Structure 1
Amino acid sequence: MNVQSHLEKIARLESLRGRLDPLEDFELWFWAGMTAGTHAVNAALHHGGITASDDMYPTQPGVYLVPQPDGGLSAAFRSVGDILHVGRPVIETPVPEDVTSMMHLMETIEQYRDPCVREGVVPTATIVKECDAALGQCLRLLNDRLNGNGYEH
């Protein structure tokens, strides 16, 4: 995907999150936030020239669905384009400090995925606040990068 496509998805996901109750609708709210943050990291990686912004969609590390001339999609091995989650796949190229910070913020959010979504830990206001703050900072860092606030393109 390209930077603009990621930004459009972030906007839609943030709109959805705004309509959800973070505690009562935690799973949807959480997934929307985690997905928005992953799109932000991908946009920053593409913007920095670290990963390819090709028209392809990840299915697992190193495997992408690539558009075909007939309009379909076909699985193909490719170098890193979009990541699925921070660390999947690992980025071998040096990553700028702001993008590294974004990745750490996503790890802050993702630490709650399994306990709260898969293992039955009841989310708390503290967890919601921590996830929301991490995503907000991640999105601010992306915005700073895209607006040229001291970061290389």
Structure 2
Amino acid sequence: MNVKSHLEKIVRLEALRARFDPLDDFELWFWSGMTGGTHAVNAALHHAGITTADDVYAAQPGVYLVPQPDGTLQAAFHPLGDVLHVGRPVVEAPVPEDIASMMHLMEVVEQYRDPCVRAGVAPTAAIVEECDKALRVCFRLLNERMEGALHEH
């Protein structure tokens, strides 16, 4: 995806996340935040020229869905574009400190994915606060890198 598309998705996902109660609707609240944060990392990686910003869509590490002239999507190997999650696939190139911080913040969030969404661990107010704080800092770092572009959408 391209940077503009990532920014637009972040704005829509954050509007959606704001509609959920973080504890009562934890799974939806969590997934919308985690997905928005992943879009932020991808936008930052593209902005820094570390990954390609082509209009292809990550399906599996190294495999992207590529739009075809007839409007369909075709799976194809492609150079690193969007990551699905931080570390999947691993970004081999050096990344600037702010992006490395964003990636770490997403690891803070994603540590709760399996226990709270898949394994039935009940989310707590402390987990919600930790995830929300990490996402807010991640978005702030992106906005600083993009010189306010996130808030223009």
Tell me the CA shift for residue 13 of structure 1.
0.4
1:99 matches 2:92: no
1:32 counterpart residue number? 32
Identity over aligned pairs, percent: 75
1:109 matches 2:109: yes
- Note the residue ranges of structure 2 that are not aligned, 5 or more in a row: 149-153
SS at 1:75's partner residue? strand
Tell me the CA shift for residue 50 of structure 1.
0.3
The within-5 A match list for 1:1-150 is 1-147=1-147
- Tell me how far apart the structure 2 counterparts of residues 117 and 61 of structure 1 sit (CA, whole Å): 22
- TM norm structure 1: 0.96
Runs (4+) of structure 1 moved beyond 2 Å? none
- TM norm structure 2: 0.96
Tell me the CA shift for residue 132 of structure 1.
0.1
SS at 1:66's partner residue? strand
1:33-54, Cα deviation, whole Å (9 max, x unpaired): 0000000000000000000000
1:61 aligned partner, one-letter code: P
1:36 aligned partner, one-letter code: G
Tell me the CA shift for residue 29 of structure 1.
0.1
- Note the residue ranges of structure 1 that are not aligned, 5 or more in a row: 149-153
1:151 counterpart residue number? none
- Tell me how far apart the structure 2 counterparts of residues 42 and 26 of structure 1 sit (CA, whole Å): 24
Q: How many residues align?
A: 148
SS at 1:137's partner residue? helix
Tell me the CA shift for residue 136 of structure 1.
0.2
1:63 aligned partner, one-letter code: V
SS at 2:138's partner residue? helix
